Structure 1
Amino acid sequence: MNNKDDNCDTSVLSDDIFTLKGEEFFRVIRPLIGEVACNILEIQMIDSAENFLNTNDIFDIFKYDSDDIDAIKSKSCFKMKDGQYIVRTGVLNNMTYLKTVLKKKFEEQHIFLNNLQKEKIYELINRNPILQSLIAWYSRNEFANNDINKNHSFMLSFIDTITKNIVKQKQNYRYDDSMKDFAVVLYTLGGKQVYEFVRINIIGALPNLTTLKKLISSTDAILTEGRFCFDALQQYLDSVKTNSFVGFVTKLSNGVPIPDYYQTDSFEELQFWFNNIEKSNLLNIHMFQPIPQLNRANAPASFLMSAYGVDSTSTAIEILHRWIYIFNNCSKSQIRIIGFSTDGDNKYMRAMRLMCGFFGHLLNLQPYEHPDAFQIKTAYWSVEINAHMLLYLILLVKENQLPKEALHIYLFNSQSCESMFRNTRSLSGAFSTIVNFTVADFLGRSKKLSILNKIKCQQQDNEYDKRLFFPTHHKHKNDNSLVAQEKLDDVYTLDVEQIVFNSYKMALSLIEPLNIISVLKEYHLLNLNSLSKYTFNHLNTRSTIKAKTSSNSELAIDYYEDDEDEEDDDDYLDHNEIISNSDEDSESLNESFDDDEENLEIMKNDFNGINIRDKINMEQENCYFKIKINGVVKYMHKQTACWILTEENGKVSTDRLSRVMQTNKK
């Protein structure tokens, strides 16, 4: 019998040969290889095609001396005089033939299945034009240049995420870092309604809201009212968790806000605060604008360092202490502040004049005695103060006390604060009727903006795969463009005195039509030096302000650390949502209750829809007030207490001028 592959007829085997086992398998192969060969396989329990093909030596059994195989040995082998057994040629050929035909049958079926699979794929592609488009797009990207691939890298990740998740159970969905960043940005810019609309309709593309909020809360971008994030400024982000009550006017210590001041576990004390402590109607924020590094194309994004509610009673001296506090703590973190910028508020301009000694001075506080305590005030009090500070800045750069990158003057403004307020207002959803927001609202929204700015900076600076692109209006594409470095080098060759003198001559030419020069000549004031001395003496006599600080000692700030790890229910304060009562089993608190606690007498016995519970978990103890209602011990969530005690929500006009006028009336 010829055992060559070409002479094997696989039709002698049924198509289901590889699924047969036991007697069914032997029934098919017995006509091909005979009874003796079948007995050899059967006694070894080689009862399937797969088992047969995986056996290396079928006749290895004849090496052993056993009564069970003596009958098979005598039929299939020759016994030599020395006691050895030689397999008969026919039996050997039958086994070889069976192995050959099974292998060929397997190859044919494999080819057939592959062809069948390809036909199904082709048929599937022909029935679905979207697959044809995807194949064409992927094929084009294979031969595209690297720039095109970078632009499409996130799209590849987006499609890959959907196709992998859509065939899994929802609890097994997985998302890479680029998809997580995309989800956070979409939620921040579009709000909850937009995010849910996209997530529900594009299945498998975005994580659910629970997962997303865990991503946001795990990000180091939490801001506590009144706390300056100096360590966060060094790392650019910091993680601080608080359970304080937000919305009252922040207490100041020498002008510096005391963080986490309003903390209590007493409902009576909270009620006293609501009745006697003024609610903050203004919000004060401190933005930090880094100067660009060498060879950087754009200015880095500003950083929200602190935010807290205030009223209009702060003084210029308190503002000075606050600036000194910020400067000193930044210096401890190896951060050099070269200037403060504000808007045109009178108290801030008075503080600027006092600090820089421009027609004003402090009687018992010398801020310049502190090393490296230079501060620039690029405000709009007058052209003079800005000109003097700009000249001072240029001289510091020329003397190599500051890097030349400090000459990006356009960064010295308060627009980062205005931009923060605009962006925070823009986070109101399409269905929101509330234009203004509380301090708690701002802290929550600023957290989202901090994460958004972090993602923007990462996507802008790093040339890695799966990059996200953000829309930019054509008018603002060059807003953050920096002055070329070679132009900044010109400052080292400037003759400052000559420039000032040329400016003075230009000023004289401008006022010549006003017939003022003749008056200056009459009083011998046409010379630059004499006119400067006269102007300085005149302003120093009539426009000088003086102020005295309460203490020269270093500022002592009391920090109230909060070890509370409780995660508040999302958007409770933002939308005044009423949290439903939970019926889940929880461990009851067995602490004794003070009989002197206030007992609330009310007609209502059913508290469905209000977060008032009969018992709570021990780990949630700090999140609830322990009160008596109609003589029965209850636990009221602190957010619910704030909602109950809030009688009205103060609102101010969306127009800035009207807002200032409205604030001044209070």
Structure 2
Amino acid sequence: MDFHNFDKLKFGMSLLPDDIFMRVDNNFFSVVKTIAGDSVVKILKIQLINSARKLLCIPYVFEFLRIDSEEVGAIKLESCFKSKTGQYVIKPGVQSGKQTYEFICLNLYGSILNLTTLGDLIKTSNMALNEAEFRFEYLPQLHSSFGFCSEDTTGVIRKVEYDCSTNSFVRFATPVTDGVPLSQYFQVDTFNDIKEIYDMSEQARLLNVHMFQGIQSDDNTTSIPRPFLLSAYGINNNFTALDVLQRWLYIYRNCLKNGVRVIDFSTGLESAWYVVFVCRIWWSWLKKESSSSSSKRTTACEQQNHINKYFITKPAYLSVEPNAHNMLYMVLLVKQHSLPKQALINIHLFNSQGCESLFRDARSLSGSFSTIVNFTVNNFIKRSQKLAILNQFKYDQSEHNFLFQSIININTMID
């Protein structure tokens, strides 16, 4: 037995009296004051939370701070910072988080799992993810026969880390073959292997992710599946357009093998349909304006240079033009009953916002007491597993007949 942890457990359990659930009013507040201080006591008193049983039934204890009243205003001045814009931010000393979870584990022994056990369960779940591995085998569990794929990148902390589960290093720029990243490429067996990797490999400065957004074909479906993370790996953007096309073809074929048809791919352009038609109108207007004043320009080359001066570059225009053709192609497929009509109804999901949302959520897991908001590649992989389980709970809540309580982030500014 680890006597150090045992002593820590006894110390944690001694903080709360054995009759904590029997204490009410001043007897309860005296315990809260000893552990958390006067500010927390005032927060509980103003809400008439005078017992541990009532406290456990409150989904978000700071929700009352949104109320505009004199009584709440006094609590805000003591427990929050007030910005120059008039917004309030809860002070770190009043917030809860990982420390509170550990405190409950120690004082209510056996009531909830400790963090180590939770980490082990996440690693052994079907949401486990390794760098550069594509999780095509989990697509049938999404219950979506059609969907969109998106790809996006974000900056990461440049730090090499060792993954003991795969005996490989994470954070180097993942090499690709025919556009497909090589999983567990940086495995080592000897010290010379480590030296060779550091001498010959470049550290990745970007994280590349692939997401799958499923589309339900049932008309009665009210919930939209959360985007599913297919793969994540470090890159330096050292690949060609042919690599991208080969990678998309690889994804399309493997999704098809698992009973899922990818309708289209997105790489970060939002509201592409509007951009296409705006560019067309813009180009037509410039061409008309140039023709009306052609007497001032003697050659066709001068007219073309005049148009190019006030228009986007040709490569940029050609990169958005295919979106209009893709949309028309999707309309024809739906009309021919080759695609469900939900493909057009949910056309707003055809973007890379799923990737951007995942990046934001992963950064939000940094913790309220951490000054580092970004992550390494290995950090992102671990955090994405937790987010995947959380999103699955939210999506399955109707099937399991329970309500997933929406809790406002403690770090959120209070108007």
Q: Report the alpha carbon displacement of residue 217 of structure 1 after superposing the two structures with TM.
A: 2.3
Residues 143-162 of structure 1: pairs in structure 2 closer than 5 A: none
Change beyond 3 A, Cα 1:263–1:275: same
Identify the residue that residue 342 of structure 2 maps to in structure 1.
Answer: 405
Q: Report the alpha carbon displacement of residue 415 of structure 1 after superposing the two structures with TM.
A: 0.3
CA distance in 1, matches of 2:386, 2:100: 15
CA distance in 2, matches of 1:199, 1:323: 46
Identify the residue that residue 372 of structure 2 maps to in structure 1.
Answer: 434
> Does the CA-based 8 Å contact 1:283-1:310 persist in structure 2?
yes
Q: Report the alpha carbon displacement of residue 254 of structure 1 after superposing the two structures with TM.
A: 0.7
Residues 331-350 of structure 1: pairs in structure 2 closer than 5 A: 331-344=256-269
Identify the residue that residue 394 of structure 2 maps to in structure 1.
Answer: 456
- Unaligned regions of 5+ residues in structure 2, if any? 1-18, 26-52, 58-95, 144-164, 271-315, 410-415
Change beyond 3 A, Cα 1:278–1:462: same
Identify the residue that residue 192 of structure 1 maps to in structure 2.
Answer: 98
Change beyond 3 A, Cα 1:293–1:198: farther
The alignment status of 1:234 with 2:140, answered yes or no, reads: yes
CA distance in 2, matches of 1:455, 1:467: 10
Identify the residue that residue 388 of structure 1 maps to in structure 2.
Answer: 325
Q: Cα deviation per residue 1:647-666 (whole Å; 9 max; x = unaligned)?
A: xxxxxxxxxxxxxxxxxxxx
Which has the bigger relative contact order, CA under 8 A and spacing at least 6? 2
CA distance in 1, matches of 2:338, 2:404: 39
CA distance in 2, matches of 1:301, 1:394: 24
Identify the residue that residue 287 of structure 1 maps to in structure 2.
Answer: 211
Q: Structure 2: which amino acid aligns with 1:417?
A: C
Of 161, 164, 169, which aligns to 1:245?
Answer: 169
Of 197, 207, 220, which aligns to 2:113?
Answer: 207
Q: Cα deviation per residue 1:501-544 (whole Å; 9 max; x = unaligned)?
A: xxxxxxxxxxxxxxxxxxxxxxxxxxxxxxxxxxxxxxxxxxxx
Change beyond 3 A, Cα 1:463–1:260: closer
Q: Report the alpha carbon displacement of residue 436 of structure 1 after superposing the two structures with TM.
A: 2.1
Q: Report the alpha carbon displacement of residue 455 of structure 1 after superposing the two structures with TM.
A: 1.5
SS at match of 1:304: strand
Q: Report the alpha carbon displacement of residue 457 of structure 1 after superposing the two structures with TM.
A: 1.4
Q: Structure 2: which amino acid aligns with 1:311?
A: N
Q: Report the alpha carbon displacement of residue 268 of structure 1 after superposing the two structures with TM.
A: 1.8
What value does the CA root-mean-square deviation take over the aligned residues?
3.1
Q: Report the alpha carbon displacement of residue 344 of structure 1 after superposing the two structures with TM.
A: 4.9
Change beyond 3 A, Cα 1:381–1:300: farther
> Does the CA-based 8 Å contact 2:173-2:202 persist in structure 1?
yes
Of 423, 447, 468, which aligns to 2:404?
Answer: 468
Q: Report the alpha carbon displacement of residue 471 of structure 1 after superposing the two structures with TM.
A: 3.6
Change beyond 3 A, Cα 1:381–1:420: farther
Identify the residue that residue 240 of structure 2 maps to in structure 1.
Answer: 315
> Does the CA-based 8 Å contact 2:122-2:128 persist in structure 1?
no
SS at match of 1:451: helix
CA distance in 2, matches of 1:423, 1:381: 33
Identify the residue that residue 302 of structure 2 maps to in structure 1.
Answer: none
The alignment status of 1:306 with 2:240, answered yes or no, reads: no
Change beyond 3 A, Cα 1:344–1:314: farther
- Unaligned regions of 5+ residues in structure 1, if any? 1-123, 131-154, 160-189, 346-378, 474-666
Q: Report the alpha carbon displacement of residue 128 of structure 1 after superposing the two structures with TM.
A: 5.8
Identify the residue that residue 218 of structure 1 maps to in structure 2.
Answer: 124
The alignment status of 1:259 with 2:183, answered yes or no, reads: yes
> Does the CA-based 8 Å contact 1:191-1:427 persist in structure 2?
no
CA distance in 2, matches of 1:428, 1:326: 31
TM-score between the two structures when normalised by the length of structure 2: 0.56
| Structure with bigger gyration radius | 1
TM-score between the two structures when normalised by the length of structure 1: 0.36
Q: Report the alpha carbon displacement of residue 204 of structure 1 after superposing the two structures with TM.
A: 4.9
> Does the CA-based 8 Å contact 2:209-2:229 persist in structure 1?
yes
Q: Structure 1: which amino acid aligns with 2:134?
A: F
The alignment status of 1:415 with 2:415, answered yes or no, reads: no
SS at match of 1:263: coil
